[in-house]
Every structure is written in C-alpha cells, then in structure tokens.
Amino acid sequence: TSEVLRQAQKMEAVGQLTGGIAHDFNNMLSVIIGSLDLLGRRLPDGEARLRRYAENAMEGARRAATLTHRLLAFSRQQPLNPQAVDLNKLVSGMSELMRRTLSGNIRLETVLGGGLWSCSVDANQLENVIVNLAVNARDAMPDGGRLTIETQNAHLDDRYAAADIGIVPGQYVLVAVTDTGTGMSPEVMAKAFDPFFTTKEIGKGTGLGLSQVYGFVKQSEGHVKIYSEPGRGTSVKIYLPRLVGEHDVTDQIAAALPELTD
C-alpha cells in the first residue's frame, strides 16, 4: 500500500501544479483564439494567403487548448458525478466514437458479459477513460491488429487481495481493454501510470492518459491493473465496485426471472 500512497501523493502534487498553470494558459488561449477568429472574419475575400496564416495560428491555438483541457481534467478541477451505470450499454453506445478513434486497420471486438451488475461511476469520465485506453491501443498497433473491449462480473477474493497491492476484496464489474500491439517492457510498465511519462514523440503523447485512468479508478474506489508482454500486446483491466441497492436494475430483472419462466 505504500506504493499506492506514493502514487496518490505524486498525483496530488502534480495535479495542483498543473491545474494552476492550465487554468492561466486557458485564459490566455481564449484571448488568442477569440482574436484570431475576429481577424479571420475581417480579412477581405482576396487575402487567401493571410487567411491561411490565420487558420494555421488558429489550428495551433486549438491544439494547445485541447492540451490545457486535458491538464484541467487531470488535475480534477471538476468533481465526479457518480450515477448507476450499465456498462454494457455504455460500451455499446461508444461504437461510433470508437470507429472515429481507431484507424481502419484495427478490428474492434466487444465481448459483453451476461447478467452484468451495475456500477456507480461518472459515466462521462468512464467514457473518457475507455477512449484513453483505445487511443493507447491504437498507437501500439501502427500496423493494425485487434482491440477487444470486454465486460464481466468479477469476485475479487482475499487470495487475490493478498497477492496484489491495494485490492479490496468484493464484487466488481470488470472492463478490460486488450490490444495485440507492441506491448510494454517492464521498465515502461513500472512508470506507465506516472503523470507525464510518455514514450511517444513530442506533440503525440502527453503522458497523462494512464494517470487520468488511475485517478478516475481510485476516486471510484476501483482497481486498475496492466498486463503486458512485449511483442504480444497489452491488457488494461479496470474493476469498478458493484452497485448494490434498489437501483440495481439487473438484480431486479434476475429476481423477476423465475416468475417469468414459470
């Protein structure tokens, strides 16, 4: 658990720092983007080249704004808004978004578990997390491959907890994102969750994707684990606590089933 603590402290320190910087940059970028927009509109029709300069500047400013938004999301300026989530529905609803995220040479496979429990999480943030994992998977498969998204009910028992740091035994809903890409060396895997750790070239990676995933999962009182083998691929498994109570739709359906089959 000292490893979990160390990671949490690091996340908090970096989060506060980046949050402050990102906030100020965001304000400056709003001024730049607003002014460029005005400039573009006021340019006379004949000025094609000037218009292109303005568009290039705008494009750069927009990319910078995307980065500051990611930094702000990472530093957790916005609180989580947990609700009862049907993970199968959430994953099915993402197929269009996935198609746009992945390149044509990557085959997407979804394996949805039957009788899946609900979980209590922020649905938007969970979508972001799955997109982050899909982007990483895509980047790890430049020559194409297969991306699998799998959901499943999972019991983590004491034995599992004993073998793994920070695991709380109990019932979870598992979502696993698996690729057939490059995989990670043990050195990369050890640092993968660290904020700003990236092996990607400048402009392509921020090193915030997995630390965002880690932050979300910890705030949701879940667990995340990476399995990876160089040359074979990577699987990121996220365990989210099962939602129990009157809002658990799948339980209600299961309870009603014997009557239906009678």
Residues that bind ligand ADP (CB under 6 A): 136-137, 140, 179, 181-184, 188, 192, 197-200, 205-211, 234
d(CA 113, CA 148): 13
Residue number with CB closer to ligand ADP (121 or 213): 213
Cα gap 141→180, rounded to integer Å:
7
**Which CB sits closer to ligand ADP, 178 or 250?**
178
Please identify, using beta-carbon distances, which residue of 21 and 58 lies nearer to ligand ADP: 21
Residue 178 C-beta: closest distance to ligand ADP, Å: 9
Nearest distance, CB of residue 230 and ligand ADP, angstroms: 9
Cβ-contact 33, 62 below 8 angstroms: yes
Least CB distance to ligand ADP at residue 217 (A) = 13
Residue closer to ligand ADP by CB (options 183, 222) is 183
Kindly state the smallest distance separating residue 135's Cβ from ligand ADP, in Å: 7
DSSP state of 79: P
Rounded to whole angstroms, the Cα distance separating 155 from 248 reads 17
The number of angstroms, rounded, from the C-alpha of 219 to the middle of its chain's C-alpha atoms is 13
Q: Using DSSP, how many helices (H) and how many strands (E) does the chain show?
A: 9, 7
Report the C-alpha gap between 70 and 63 in whole angstroms.
Answer: 11
Of 113 and 205, nearer to ligand ADP (C-beta) is 205
Shortest reach from residue 253's CB to ligand ADP, in Å: 35
| Spatial separation of the C-alpha atoms in residues 17 and 36, rounded to whole Å | 29
The distance of closest approach from Cβ of residue 212 to ligand ADP in the complex, given in angstroms and rounded to an integer, is: 8
Residue placing its CB nearer to ligand ADP in the complex, 82 or 207: 207
DSSP string, 154-203: EEE-HHHHHHSTTPPPEEEEEEEEEE-S----HHHHHHTTSTT---SPTT
- Based on CB atoms, which residue is closest to ligand ADP, 153 or 198? 198
**In the complex, residue closest to ligand ADP by CB:** 209
Cβ at position 102, least distance to ligand ADP in Å: 13
28-67 as b/e: b if 16+ CB within 10 A: ebeebbeebeeeeeeeeeeeeeeeeebeebbeebeebbeb
